[in-house]
Amino acid sequence: MTTTSNEHLFTAEPETPGQLVDRFDQVRKFTETLCETLIPEDYVVQTMPDVSPTKWHLGHTTWFFEAFILRDKLPGYVSPDARYNYLFNSYYNAVGDPWYRPNRGLLSRPGVDEVYDFRRFADEKMHDLFDRIDRDMDPERLRELTILGINHEQQHQELLLTDIKNVFSVNPMNPILRDFGPDPEPLGVPPMEFLGFDGGLLEVGYDGTGFHFDNEGPYHPTYVPSFELASRLVTNGEYMEFIEAGEYQKHTNWLDKGWKTIQSEGWNAPLYWEKSDHGWTHYTLGGRRLVNPDEPLVHVSYFEADAFARWKGMRLPTEFEWEIAARRADTPNATLVESLRCHPTALGRDAERGKLHQMFGEVWEWTSSPYSAYPGFKSWDGAVGEYNGKWMVDQMVLRGGSCATSESHIRASYRNFFPADARWQFMGVRLAKDAA
């Protein structure tokens, strides 16, 4: 399948009111499907400031529909608890003061059952609103906000999984969220090829008519020199060579801030990796397992990705190189969240040569591009304008989605972003180099 930057890759976005209601129900239900193996105690734990408890994600995604749709659109709407506006607001200052993020794990109340009751209540009220959609003063705005809320919830489905993985990883009982079967035998992966792409003044960004986040536009020209991009992701086995070469003990290939970070944090391997008598193991949402050398590398920071690329005599792609190449990528068999595997899959050794593989799903791919505004960028009006624009500093762009991303949520122009030292998300590496 060949893609362009303006396509939703796997599932068409809802067009009719009935399709909108169906998508809303599907997404809301799937969030709870992801939680069905949890026990109440799992919902409350916060292991670090970047991690939010599962209970908070369930409440926050519900609050989003309440704050941005129900209060304005449904006459006479009253929240089941006015304090939820404080507890479940994330960072929307225009809506009110939010509860301090690092203290979300201190909230033993409301209980898990009360949060699920909040979800049921809000869903019923959204259905009341859907029944009135033809009488709404601005039905298109209602549709736009609902689709935004759906996409927002899909983002939090991914965050929920990455956060509960961090929570489970510190538990010596090695809890399992999903059993995705026995470890496959390492069989090897195809050799890494570098595919060439012509440069020039090229158009990038979202240019379609469907939903997209404001930071994906405007569609605009940018100059991109010719480049080469790796045919597949970097594997665990390739990164083991980096570790065994002692690169965590040498400053040579590290950015200064990266070198200081790995020293201060004591990093000597990707997040969740531990050395055992049998070799490297890592925590997965299927429990602690031996690291499969064929699987895509995951849970590395930008600093680690950049150092590995330098060690290989290469570099990370820019976000525009990645996007241009993604338009030519094949997307069959991508591991996305609907698989419930929640772990990247090794590329088959019989994968076709001369093509880009694993561009969508598996792991988010670090790029060398700082997260900043495109020329002519304008945030959305109102409080939802705080969604993306206010974060355009001290972050790096990632592309492509991961094994925790929804199939209807990812596209070539989608821009994810995190600080350079973040690695608890499903983050990996694809190499690039200048054209020969």
| pLDDT for res 138 | 81
- Give the residue numbers spanning the domain of 376: 194-434
| 182 belongs to a structural domain | no
Q: What is the CA radius of gyration of the chain?
A: 22
Mean pLDDT of 125-136: 87
| 175 belongs to a structural domain | no
Instruction: Provide the token pair at 397.
Output: 């762009």
The verdict on 131 and 216 lying in the same domain is no
The verdict on 291 and 410 lying in the same domain is yes
Element (H, E) at 287: strand 287-290
Q: Which residues contact 13 (CB under 8 A, 6 or more apart)?
A: 23, 147, 210, 211, 408
The string of pLDDT tens digits covering residues 351-398 is: 999 999 999 999 999 999 999 999 999 887 776 776 777 878 899 999
Going by pLDDT thresholds of 50, 70 and 90, the confidence category of residue 287 is: very high
Instruction: Check residue 188 and give left, alpha or beta (phi > 0: left; psi -120 to 50: alpha).
Output: left
CA pair distance 426, 28, nearest whole angstrom: 22
The verdict on 248 and 215 lying in the same domain is yes
pTM: predicted TM-score of the whole model, two decimal places: 0.94
Which phi and psi angles does 216 have, rounded to 5°? -85, -5
Domains identified in the chain, total number:
2
Going by pLDDT thresholds of 50, 70 and 90, the confidence category of residue 4 is: very low
The string of pLDDT tens digits covering residues 404-424 is: 999 999 999 999 999 999 999
The verdict on 86 and 157 lying in the same domain is yes
Domain boundary among 169, 202, 237: 169
**Greater confidence, 74 or 94?**
74
Q: Is the pLDDT of residue 108 over 70?
A: yes
The verdict on 260 and 378 lying in the same domain is yes
Mean pLDDT of 53-69: 97
The verdict on 54 and 155 lying in the same domain is yes
| 10 belongs to a structural domain | no
| 52 belongs to a structural domain | yes
Return the minimum-mean-pLDDT range out of 4-18, 24-38, 145-159. Answer: 4-18
| pLDDT for res 16 | 85
The verdict on 158 and 202 lying in the same domain is no
Mean pLDDT (the chain) is: 93
* 183 to 291, 294, 343: CA distances (angstroms): 9, 11, 11
CA pair distance 120, 72, nearest whole angstrom: 19
The verdict on 130 and 24 lying in the same domain is yes
The verdict on 207 and 140 lying in the same domain is no
| 25 belongs to a structural domain | yes
The string of pLDDT tens digits covering residues 223-246 is: 999 999 999 999 999 999 999 999
| pLDDT for res 328 | 83
CA pair distance 166, 43, nearest whole angstrom: 13
Which phi and psi angles does 434 have, rounded to 5°? -65, 150
Residue given tokens 């290939």 in the structure block: 253
The string of pLDDT tens digits covering residues 306-316 is: 999 999 999 99
| 181 belongs to a structural domain | no
What CATH number should be reported for the domain holding residue 70? 1.20.120
Domain boundary among 153, 169, 185: 169
| pLDDT for res 183 | 80
Domain boundary among 134, 169, 204: 169
**Percent of the chain beyond pLDDT 70?**
96
| pLDDT for res 392 | 82
| 174 belongs to a structural domain | no
Distance of CA 285 to the CA centre of its chain: 16
The verdict on 139 and 217 lying in the same domain is no
Nearest to 415, CA basis, from 402, 429, 398, 392 = 398
The string of pLDDT tens digits covering residues 149-192 is: 999 999 999 999 999 999 999 999 999 999 988 888 898 999 99
CA pair distance 421, 436, nearest whole angstrom: 31
Q: Is the pLDDT of residue 7 over 60?
A: no
Half-sphere exposure of 6 (CA within 13 A, CB side): 11
Distance of CA 114 to the CA centre of its chain: 28
| pLDDT for res 254 | 98
The verdict on 114 and 251 lying in the same domain is no
| pLDDT for res 9 | 53
Q: Where do the H-state alpha helices sit in 108-255?
A: 112-131, 139-169, 236-244
What CATH number should be reported for the domain holding residue 306? 3.90.1580.10
Nearest to 40, CA basis, from 116, 100, 104 = 116
**CB-CB neighbours of 32 under 10 Å:** 11
The verdict on 392 and 272 lying in the same domain is yes
| pLDDT for res 151 | 95
Considering Cα of 123, then 127, then 129, then 134, what sign does the dihedral take? positive
Q: Which residues pair with 235 in a beta bridge?
A: 296
| pLDDT for res 336 | 96
Q: Is the pLDDT of residue 332 over 60?
A: yes
Q: With H, G, I as helix, E, B as strand and everything else as coil, classify residue 192.
A: coil
Residue given tokens 């040569």 in the structure block: 353
Going by pLDDT thresholds of 50, 70 and 90, the confidence category of residue 333 is: confident
Helices (H) and strands (E) in the chain, counts: 10, 12
| pLDDT for res 378 | 85
Half-sphere exposure of 406 (CA within 13 A, CB side): 24
Q: Is the pLDDT of residue 14 over 90?
A: no
